[in-house]
Amino acid sequence: MTWEYHAPLPDMRFVMERVLEAPAAWAQCQPFAELDLDTVDAVLQEAAKFAAGVLLPINAQGDAAGCVRDDAGRVRTPPGYREAYRAYVEGGWPALPCDPAWGGQGLPMLVDAAAREMLVACNHGWVMYPDLLHGAYETIKAHASEDVKARYLQDVATGRTLAAMALTEPQAGSDLGLLRTRAEPQPDGSLRIVGQKIFISGGEHDLTDNIVHLVLCRLPDSPPGTKGISLALVPKLLPDGAPNALHCDGIEHKTGIHGSATCAMRYEGATGWLVGEPHRGLAAMFLMMNSARLHVGLQGLGHQEMATQNALRYASERLQGRAAASGAAADPIAWHPAMRHTLLRLQAMTEGQRVIAYRAALAIDRAAHDPDAVVRAAESALAALMTPVVKAFCTHHGFHGASAALQVFGGYGYVREYGIEQTLRDARIAMIYEGTNEIQAIDLLQRKVLADGGVALQRWLREALAEASRCEAAGLAEAAATLRHECAAAEAATQAVARVAAQDREAPLRVADDYLMGLSHTLLAWAFAASLRAACGTPDRRWARSKSERMTYGLQWVVPQAAVHWERVRAAATLALPALRQ
């Protein structure tokens, strides 16, 4: 069996058009007022072609070859990476959601999200290079001086220059407050950057001549902790074309994404410029991180789609054991109940998470462009609420879904010729970077739910309950009841943890992971119910029936897992979490 990618374009269109009703939202937003679904389809068809035709063929060889660093610190990417990147830039892909004023195509984040899902499904290692561009673009656009913008923004928007986020240091990972890289102001207004960074994706490579590093650092008079962190733009090549004083000391040998150069960087008095206000670097960087977190969630989604469709194809071809009175010596393993569970679960999970991730992208679009300030604020809060869920839940299942799919292949899943084991290895990183999934859980519960007294969550729950009413009106009483039940469970658990938090500040931290998993299942219940309702309206009855079966499977077999997580959340007050003893 060959490893293939068939872009889920019909499902993408179904989610945008019928589940999320995106065109109606776009019609309200000035930059997208003229956009129609056929144009979107055409763009996504091209993206699908690029993903399956250009990126997939160099995926396995990129894994085998990896990146190579020479003694001078130069990094060579795997065969075919440069050519693919050139084609990517020429196709205008980097600038998809960027402002036309800066060379962009001005398409919605939602469309960009669908394109990214396809690209990463076909080649995660390669996608690492351009994946940071949009975040860098947003950060520079919002926070850099006019001078810096004029010099770098268009190049970053169009992908002529790639970007790197330089946050982590050996002693400062999840806790950026511990970072030590120094930024010394120079008489000409520039900064002199001195320090070491590790785990810098695309810190050095051969895809573009210049690389823009966004470096977290400390000014001389900075207060300790996260309140004293500034952000500097440090290019690999200075404006006069001379090399800047930065050096790649090594690249990591990793479990997966071998095509992505993960660099240890040394800045030895490198020239840079402040982006944003002094000591406010984290705020400026957060814009980049939120965008990056959505992208990482889409990585999990892309891996699940890839794993699911290939496992299904394999299971339909592989004959082992009898499952029916077919009279054959053996039936396709896809007929066996255990495999049906695995594959239906994979399908339901993938399609449900697609609805959730795309809703988050739509929220970002509406937050930026809806004419109504109330809508903008609400959608902004919703995007903030959903981002940690998309990042953590989609990447959790990106990895665990890949493992479930690998199991379908049996022994063949564990060997290199089949692509699934690379998907498994590649997918694992997404649970870690851009803030570990545990950090996402804390962000969700502390900052996105409890900090505003539950207002953003309540607003979303009302949206979900409105969907339940629509389901009921469509004759889907069971789906409506399940969704209502899950919304009530989420609300009750949220109230319980809010009450406990008032007396016991550690309590939310003890249940944050379960809270995120619980709320992810509420969102899944909403996505399944909304998809089920929307499927009733599609003209292709065969497709609609199949979609309905998968979504019903999700509501019946997947969603009940929520109960265990909510039970643990409610137990926050009473159950002990002892300290560890070695």
- Chain positions 417 to 446 lying near its own copies, rule: CB under 8 A, are 417, 421, 424-425, 428-429, 431-433, 436-438, 441-442
- The answer for 280, left when phi > 0, alpha when psi is -120 to 50, beta otherwise, is alpha
CA–CA separation, 489 and 561 (whole Å): 12
| Window 505-544: residues binding its own copies (CB under 8 A) | 506, 509-510, 512-513, 542
Closer CB to its own copies, residue 375 or residue 571? 571
Coil vs helix vs strand at 534: helix
Pick the binder of its own copies from 206, 452, 491, 549 (CB under 8 A): 549
In the residue annotation, 549 being an active-site residue is answered as: no
Closer CB to its own copies, residue 269 or residue 321? 321
- Part in contact with its own copies (CB under 8 A); list of ranges 77-85, 129-137, 250-258, 293-301: 250-258
Q: Closest separation between CB of residue 221 and its own copies, Å?
A: 19
Closer CB to its own copies, residue 268 or residue 567? 567
CA–CA separation, 109 and 364 (whole Å): 7
| Window 303-362: residues binding its own copies (CB under 8 A) | 312-313, 315-316, 319-321, 329-330, 333-344
Virtual torsion, Cα 512, 515, 521, 525, nearest 10 deg: -140
397 makes contact with its own copies (CB under 8 A): no
Closer CB to its own copies, residue 27 or residue 575? 575
406 makes contact with its own copies (CB under 8 A): yes
Pick the binder of its own copies from 57, 91, 106, 560 (CB under 8 A): 560
371 makes contact with its own copies (CB under 8 A): no
Q: Residue 572 half-sphere exposure, CB side, CA atoms within 13 Å?
A: 28
* CA 39 distance to own-chain centroid: 24
> Contact 565/511 with Cβ under 8 angstroms?
no
CA–CA separation, 63 and 123 (whole Å): 9
127 makes contact with its own copies (CB under 8 A): no
- Part in contact with its own copies (CB under 8 A); list of ranges 34-42, 86-94, 121-129, 569-577: 569-577
Burial 550-574, CB ≥16 within 10 A → b, else e: bbbbbbeebbeebeebbebbbebee
> Contact 50/87 with Cβ under 8 angstroms?
yes
CA–CA separation, 406 and 412 (whole Å): 8
Catalytic residue among 17, 138, 434, 467: 434
520-to-336, 357, 523 alpha-carbon distances in Å: 29, 11, 5
| Window 76-105: residues binding its own copies (CB under 8 A) | none
Enumerate the H helices of 318-410 as residue ranges: 337-369, 373-408
Q: Closest separation between CB of residue 525 and its own copies, Å?
A: 15
Pick the binder of its own copies from 45, 255, 469, 495 (CB under 8 A): 255
- The answer for 73, left when phi > 0, alpha when psi is -120 to 50, beta otherwise, is left
> Contact 181/216 with Cβ under 8 angstroms?
yes
Closer CB to its own copies, residue 380 or residue 412? 412
How many other CB atoms are there within 10 angstroms of residue 2's CB atom? 8
142 makes contact with its own copies (CB under 8 A): no
580 makes contact with its own copies (CB under 8 A): yes
Closer CB to its own copies, residue 222 or residue 316? 316
407 makes contact with its own copies (CB under 8 A): yes
380 makes contact with its own copies (CB under 8 A): no
- Part in contact with its own copies (CB under 8 A); list of ranges 111-119, 121-129, 395-403, 450-458: 395-403
CB neighbours of 147 closer than 8 A, spacing ≥ 6?
A: 273
Q: Closest separation between CB of residue 380 and its own copies, Å?
A: 27
Q: How many residues bind its own copies (CB under 8 A)?
A: 91
| Window 277-306: residues binding its own copies (CB under 8 A) | none
Closer CB to its own copies, residue 94 or residue 259? 259
392 makes contact with its own copies (CB under 8 A): no
- Part in contact with its own copies (CB under 8 A); list of ranges 109-117, 180-188, 414-422, 492-500: 414-422
Backbone angles phi, psi at 212, to 5 degrees: -95, 115
Q: Closest separation between CB of residue 170 and its own copies, Å?
A: 9
Query: What pairing do the DSSP bridges indicate for beta strands 191-201 and 230-235?
Result: unpaired
416 makes contact with its own copies (CB under 8 A): yes
DSSP state of 226: G
| Window 196-215: residues binding its own copies (CB under 8 A) | 198-199
DSSP state of 432: T
CA–CA separation, 521 and 467 (whole Å): 15
Q: Closest separation between CB of residue 61 and its own copies, Å?
A: 14
Rg of the Cα atoms in the chain: 24
Q: Closest separation between CB of residue 129 and its own copies, Å?
A: 18
Residues annotated as catalytic are 434
